[in-house]
Each structure stands twice: as C-alpha cells, then as structure tokens.
Structure 1
Amino acid sequence: MSPTLLWFRKDLRLADNSALAAAIELGAPIVPVFIWAPEEAGAWAPGAASKWWLHQALKGLREELRAQGGELILREGTSLAELRDIIKTTGATRVLWNRRYESSLRELDAQVKRALREDGLQVESFNSSLLNEPHTAATGSGQPYKVYTPYWKKVKDRPLPPLALPDLPAMRFPESFPWSTPLESLNLLPAIPWYRGFETHWLPTEAAARGRLDQFLSAAVEDYATGRDRPDCDGTSCLSPYLHWGQIGPRQVMAALADRTDLAGAGASVYAKEIYWREFAYNVLYHFPHTPDQALRAEYDSFPWESDDAVLKAWQMGQTGYPIVDAGMRQLWQTGWMHNRVRMIVSSFLVKHLLHDWRAGAKWFWDTLVDADLASNTLGWQWSGGCGADAAPYFRVFNPILQGQKFDPEGAYVKRYLPELRKMPAKYMHVPWEAPDSILEYAGVEIGKNYPAPIIDHKVGRARALAALEQFKSA
C-alpha cells in the first residue's frame, strides 16, 4: 500500500492521537513528519521558552517512534512545499493531521487541505486536543459564549469522548524514509544557555506527562480545591506545558480523573472545571480571533495605559519591591512556569498598580512561559485587564500584600525565589519595608540596596487605577 503521511504539529504524542489512530487503521506504512515553520504563525510564533520545550518534545517523540521501528522526519520551511516534497519522495497518497484552532494556523491548514486535495491526495483532519471543539457549543441564540459559567453548564454533562488509542498497537513504517533535517539545525535552542534552570524542573516527554498526571491523582487532587491557591505547596498538576504541545491530551486527563477519583468530589470537580476553562479559552479564541492583539471589549483599546520601559523592566525582572510579585516573576525566569494564583497577582499588579497595557504582559509571558498557549494566555491577561471574556472587573485590584500573606503565610515560596529575603521573619515577609531596623539588620536586608523599595505604594497604585478607570468611563 502507498504510505500515509502523518503531520505532527501540537500533538506530540502517540497515545490518544486521533490522526495516528486513523493512520494505523488504514494499515498502510506511516511516514511521521514535523515541519518547523514559525513564519506561518505570524506575530505569535513560539517564544524562546516554548522553543526550548519543543526541542525536547521533538527529541522525545523521535525516540518513541524509533523504539517502534519508525522515524520522525523533520523539515524547516513552508508547510505545503515540504509536504509536497515528502509526498513526491515517498509516493504517499494520504495526509492526516489533528486540527489547530489559532486563526492564522487554521486558515493555513484549510489552504493546505485544498491544495493537496487538488493534487489528488486524500486529506483528513481530526480533533485530538479538545473535549469539545469550538463550533459545537453555542448559546440558545446561536452566538458564541463570552462567559464561562453558561459555557460550562452547556458542555459539562456531555459524555466524555473515548480515547482514540487506549492501547498503542504495532505501527507499520516504510522500508526507508526521506531525508530529515537534524534537530539541532532547527535552532530551537538559543546560543546562550539561559534555559539551564529549566532542565532541573522539567522532563518534556510523553512519559513524563503521564507520570505527572499519575502523581497528581495519587495525592494533590484530593486537596486541589484549596491547594491550587498555595504556591508554597505542590498542589497543582503542572500539566499545562504538556497539554500545550500535546504530549498529553484532555481526553486522557479526564478519563484518568473519572477512573481514579469521584468527579463530584471537591478536588476533582474543581480540577475538571480548570480543564474546561482551557476549553473555554479555545472557544473564545476561535470565535474572536482578534483577541490576542485587541481587547474583546473593544472600548478598552482606548484605556489610558502608561508606558515606562524602566517600570516594565522592574516588573519583568522581579524587582518591584513586593515579594510575592517578585518571587513569581523570578520563578518564571528560572523555570519557565509560574503558579496560577501568582499569575493572577503579577498580572493584576502590572495592569492596575503600574497601569501598563495587558498586551505588554501577554508578550512577556509568551516569550518566557514553557506553556505559552495563545488561547489561555490571551484569556488570562484579558481577565486581569477587565477587558475580555468573563473578565474580573477593572475596579477589582489585587492587594499583593494580602495575597502574599494569605497564600504564602510562612513565606516559603518567596524564600525559594528571593534568597535575599530568606532570613526575613514571616511577619514581615510580605512587607519588608515595615520591618524594624533590628530585624532588617538580622535578615541582612537593606531596602533600596539589596532588595528594592516598593515601586509604588499599594494605596497610591489602587487609587491611580480607579482614577484611570473613571477617566476612561467619562471619556
């Protein structure tokens, strides 16, 4: 039989892979392909941290395929041109892939599908990254959802879709493969190895994703309803980067959750709602493709944002003088990831206390997060900016002092990422500028020297944010 070309993109796994399942069912030899074409994603091509993860994920997928007797063909260039070259070399008559939902990539896939079908090939696409594709959920009037709770009620009782490959059968491969670009030639790793810290925190493989899920379901899920808000504890699954690159899929997560927990239990039910929040993010991105660059609530595009490179840099580098904010930003820089509660704190601080455009924060996260997912990143930042779907009102300003005291009461999280405060007593951990001179001397902290003074007073920042809101409303 003529080969089937299997085009991998953001589905870098063998288990529960719908396109792979279809290819195996055909019975023909399979030619697995990945094409590095960042220009096709436009302004939202993968950032530096995502490229580090992608390098490791491709290496892992290649090893998995080799263990099965296959190979992963790597190419760089224009997707259609590279597919056509591989088709010509192998004599493939079918091309299969799993769907993407970002606007530019969705349009590209449609163009590729039309072109290849005009070439006489069989081309099919599948869903392997969502429980519910965006076109399957609409309001009673046929409109897309902009609020999470009605969306959740619409889809929560739908039967969970079955796994495409509960068990991986043997795959057929051709006797020889076309040429492949060396992984190192894709230049996904930066010349300066600033990412070394990532390697102590992450193993970006499909097997590691399953291991993370198993570990989470064995312990932390039970207390997830409260534990998810504590950055000082290991209370989350940390599956977001694996989900982003498709090394595990939501069907697998939900199937395991249903199998090993009571879905009505406090922890499991809250975790399930987080999986559906990711689904909601894709629903918004699909129906409102302009939102990565423009507010869903268009009036907020005229909000009186400020622009100060020095202030933005202080936030990026974790030098704001607010320990919970600075710990979060340094966790991001060191590990490529940030606890979700802290993401809300640092984004609120940038948008409200510092009055900087949510897009500046979204772009920084995009470049530094290993789980930089366009749908989730956009929804999260517009939530913080009060300008998106189901957004927090702009007048709700997180108090970084109280947030730190409530969710990192002993300062364990802060100490982990701000070693200059490691001897600060818990009483003053989140307000080191209020500590008596004797305490500061004991802790070795000099405010304004080895740890910055607050970049803005909390009360002043809150008042300024509310004043900007009133100016915006009256404009």
Structure 2
Amino acid sequence: MSKEVSVFWFRRDLRFEDNIGLYHALNDIYPVLPIFIFDKNILEHLPRDDARVNFIHDTLSKLSLQLEQNYQSSIAMYHDSPEKVFQEILNTYQLKKVYANHDYEPYAQERDQNILQLLSKQKVEFITYKDQVIFEKNEIIKKDGTPYVVYTPYKNKWKETFSPNKLKIFPSEKYLSNCLQDSKLPSISLQEMGFTTSPIQVPQFDASPFLIQNYEATRNFPAKEKGTSRLGPHLRFGTVGIRSMIKKAIAEENEVFWSELIWREFFMQILWHYPNTVNRAFKPKYDRIEWRNNKEDFEKWKKGETGYPLVDAGMRELNKTGYMHNRVRMVVASFLCKHLLIDWRWGEAYFAEKLLDFDLSANVGNWQWASGSGVDAAPYFRIFNPTTQITKFDKNLEYINTWVEDLNEFTYPKPMVEHKMARERCLDVYKKAVG
C-alpha cells in the first residue's frame, strides 16, 4: 500500500526558515514530501555552466543533507517537466495535497494552472501562499481599482498599508520532523542534467547593520567593496526571506534600503498586471522606434569593447562574475539603447543569461526604464553621458582599473561612437517614433 503524503514544492523559496507554504504543509496531518523540480522547460535554454543552476543545486544539497542528518528525510529532486514529475508522484504515493508559494511570472502562472488541472482531476488540492513579497497582486492599488504605474505613489501607498504585523514570522524550521522519512528519495547531479560546475559563484549577502546604516552614502559608488548588499540572488531564489530583510531595514531606520526592497515589489506587481511587457513596450508608441540593431555593435557592447571605460568595466565585470553594480547597469543599458540604438529586448535577454540576480520583473522593468518605454521611465531625452558618470561615481578610476586592465594600452579600443553625435541621432529617432 503506498503512503499517504502531502508535497511541499520548493520554487523561489529555498530555505527552511520562515517559509509560509512549508509551514502550513508541515502543520497538516500528512507527512510531507519536499520536492524540487529542475524544470526542463527552463533549463534547456540555459548555458551548460550556468552559475544559477549550480547555486540552486548546491543549496538544495545542503538543505537535503540537513534533513537527512536530523530527520532521516531529504528533498526529492527531479529533472523533467512539472507535469511529468507530478504524474510520477501520483503513481508512487497516495497524494493528498500539494503546497507551494505563489509565483507571479507569466510562465510560472501558466505552469501552476496546468498542475492545478492535473491535480484536480485526481481530487488533490493545490494550495499556495504569498511568501516572496509583503504585498502582491491587487493589494496595493489606486482608489479607482487600477494599478500604480509610478513608483513614488506606489511606495507611499505601500507604506501607508504596511504595519508590523505584516511581518508575522512562520517558524517552519521547527516542524521539519513532519517530513516524510525515506532514505531513497530521488536525487540528481549536475552532470546527470547535462550541466557542469561553473567558475562563477553566488556571493554571500551582507545585510549587516553597518552596511544598511551606510547604504545611502555608499550604494552609488561601484568601487566600494562593501557598498551594496549582494542580496539580489538570495531574494530571487528565496535563500533569505523578504520579511527578515524588511525587519532589518526598519530596525536600522534606513529609508533608502527599505525603498529598494519596495522597488522589487513594484516591478513584480507591474509584471503581474501587465504580463505583455515581457516583450512589448509598456508605452506602445515606443515599439515604433526604428532600432539600428547592428550585430557587430552589439558584440562589442557584450564584450566590453566600446571604448567607453565605464561601460566596458560593467560588461567585463558581468561576464566574469555574473554581477554588475546597479549604477553601472543604468549607464550600460542607456548606452546600448540610446548611443547604439539597439533594442532594449536584446540587452534584457543578455542580462537574463548572465546576471546571478536575474529576476524577470526587475530586469524587464529596469531595461524599459533605461529605454524610456516603461512605467515611471526616464524621459527619452535623458541620455547618460558615460564619461561624466565616471567623474561622479568613479573619479579615481578604481572600479574601471579593476575591470579594464588594458585601459592604458594601445590595444584598448577608441570610442565606437561619438557621444554628441549619438545623442542627437537618438533624439531624432525617438522623436520620429514617439512625437
């Protein structure tokens, strides 16, 4: 006779602590089978040495070992489409319920709808919870019921709606003994999935009181080693929970750090309300822009060979580490869209492939911001001067010298485009498209 079980499906919440869906699963009457699905629909599009796949696998292996050593359990890891995995689980166990936390991206919503249909045919409940944000979907909207598309009013309403009891902690880690005791749950190696060990590693995050207290003063200077938190990948994959980070921001009374966390939720709700912005401009007239889309120029930008040191430093840092400082991201994105007149979607796709902290909503939101086509976007006539940005944010060339080793060599390329000419060309092209 097969065992009666519930499943907890790890997705963007790779932690035992304060995990709402996991907490509710462990407090139900059935033993919990924890699972993770390396989704073939996603993985087939990734580089074989993708550092994020490495990070997910390493994190799951550590969590699984913890379960094994303390509770004679583990996390079942599968490599297939979610539909096939759940069919296999249905064939193996008497599956009673499936628990998970909400995911808001278009693919995730479609996937969850398919799983819901599959499970409901077998009379299995699929129960999901809000975990990766404080506010979701329609929880922060205008009085007329429409979503905010400008950040500052959204932030103000977010803070007005917020209260400390929104930060209720769910001590899921205290109930792990309710996991299914089975030493033969499926596991899988990177190699079995066709992946290799990446030379790039996800760095530890720093949310120390010192960093948060000094965040406003340090966050714009890319040379400052401890100027930013490196929280991005950890929030993206849920190795740290948003509630604990909001608590820290409040405890240290740092409005700017708090505001950055709210930006993340702003972009998530924009994507949820406007899923077509993944590949369409939020402001439709911006899809009329006649992009040059020169492939040779795009290759130079990707390699960090534009002849503009700050742009090149950013791209070389990204290619080598999977990270780029946020201030530099703005300069690099503006340069691609405005100086080279290359479609923001090309840049968004390249960042999606390279960034350790890639999050679809923020990536699309920020690229549309840079191109002028998105919500709350920089007006199209604001064009970063990549040379004066050095004076403001890297005047001693510390950051640039770290990444552009050939800066003073004859081999370093001359600027591929002259700033004044590029600016005027951009204004002409944009004006023709958007009026």
| TM-score of the alignment, normalized to the shorter chain, above 0.5 | yes
Identity of aligned residues (%): 32
Structure 2 SS opposite 1:82: helix
User: Which residue of structure 1 lines up, in the alignment, with residue 174 of structure 2?
Assistant: 169
Deviation at 1:340, TM superposition (A): 0.3
User: Which residue of structure 2 lines up, in the alignment, with residue 430 of structure 1?
Assistant: none
d(CA) in 1 for partners of 2:26, 2:45:
35
Deviation at 1:224, TM superposition (A): 1.3
Checking the alignment, whether the CA contact within 8 Å between 1:220 and 1:235 is kept in structure 2 is: yes
- Does 1:472 pair with 2:433? yes
Which of 42, 64, 67 is 1:65 aligned to? 67
Checking the alignment, whether the CA contact within 8 Å between 1:38 and 1:46 is kept in structure 2 is: no
Structure 2 SS opposite 1:291: helix
Structure 1 segment 293-442 matched on structure 2, within 5 A: 293-421=279-407
Checking the alignment, whether the CA contact within 8 Å between 2:77 and 2:188 is kept in structure 1 is: yes
Which of 127, 132, 139 is 1:129 aligned to? 132
User: Which residue of structure 1 lines up, in the alignment, with residue 53 of structure 2?
Assistant: 51
d(CA) in 2 for partners of 1:254, 1:23:
25
Cα deviation digits, residues 152-189 of structure 1 (max 9, x gap): 11111311423443472142233325641412245363
d(CA) in 1 for partners of 2:49, 2:373:
24
Structure 2: state its 5+ residue gaps. Answer: none
Checking the alignment, whether the CA contact within 8 Å between 1:130 and 1:250 is kept in structure 2 is: yes
d(CA) in 1 for partners of 2:227, 2:301:
26
d(CA) in 2 for partners of 1:46, 1:301:
33
Closer, same or farther: CA 124–42 of 1 in aligned 2, 3 Å: farther
Cα deviation digits, residues 114-147 of structure 1 (max 9, x gap): 3313312232111110110122121111111211
> Considering only aligned residues, what root-mean-square deviation do their CA atoms show, in Å?
2.2
Checking the alignment, whether the CA contact within 8 Å between 1:74 and 1:182 is kept in structure 2 is: yes
Closer, same or farther: CA 151–270 of 1 in aligned 2, 3 Å: same
Structure 2 SS opposite 1:251: helix
Which of 202, 223, 236 is 2:228 aligned to? 236
User: Which residue of structure 2 lines up, in the alignment, with residue 183 of structure 1?
Assistant: 189
User: Which residue of structure 2 lines up, in the alignment, with residue 139 of structure 1?
Assistant: 142
Checking the alignment, whether the CA contact within 8 Å between 1:32 and 1:72 is kept in structure 2 is: yes
d(CA) in 2 for partners of 1:240, 1:347:
18
TM-score (norm: length of structure 1)? 0.85
What code does the residue aligned with 2:186 have?
S
Structure 1 segment 30-41 matched on structure 2, within 5 A: 30-39=32-41
d(CA) in 2 for partners of 1:218, 1:185:
40
Structure 1 segment 57-206 matched on structure 2, within 5 A: 57-69=59-71, 70-157=73-160, 158-160=162-164, 161-166=166-171, 168-171=173-176, 172-176=178-182, 179-185=185-191, 187=193, 189-190=195-196, 195-196=198-199, 198-199=200-201, 202-203=202-203
Structure 2 SS opposite 1:406: helix
d(CA) in 1 for partners of 2:17, 2:47:
26
What code does the residue aligned with 2:35 have?
V
d(CA) in 2 for partners of 1:167, 1:271:
27
Structure 2 SS opposite 1:131: coil
User: Which residue of structure 2 lines up, in the alignment, with residue 10 of structure 1?
Assistant: 12
User: Which residue of structure 1 lines up, in the alignment, with residue 272 of structure 2?
Assistant: 286
d(CA) in 1 for partners of 2:308, 2:237:
33
User: Which residue of structure 1 lines up, in the alignment, with residue 417 of structure 2?
Assistant: 456
Structure 2 SS opposite 1:146: coil
What code does the residue aligned with 2:62 have?
G
Closer, same or farther: CA 248–143 of 1 in aligned 2, 3 Å: same
Structure 1: state its 5+ residue gaps. Answer: 263-267, 422-442
Deviation at 1:229, TM superposition (A): 0.5
Between Structure 1 and Structure 2, how many residues are aligned?
428
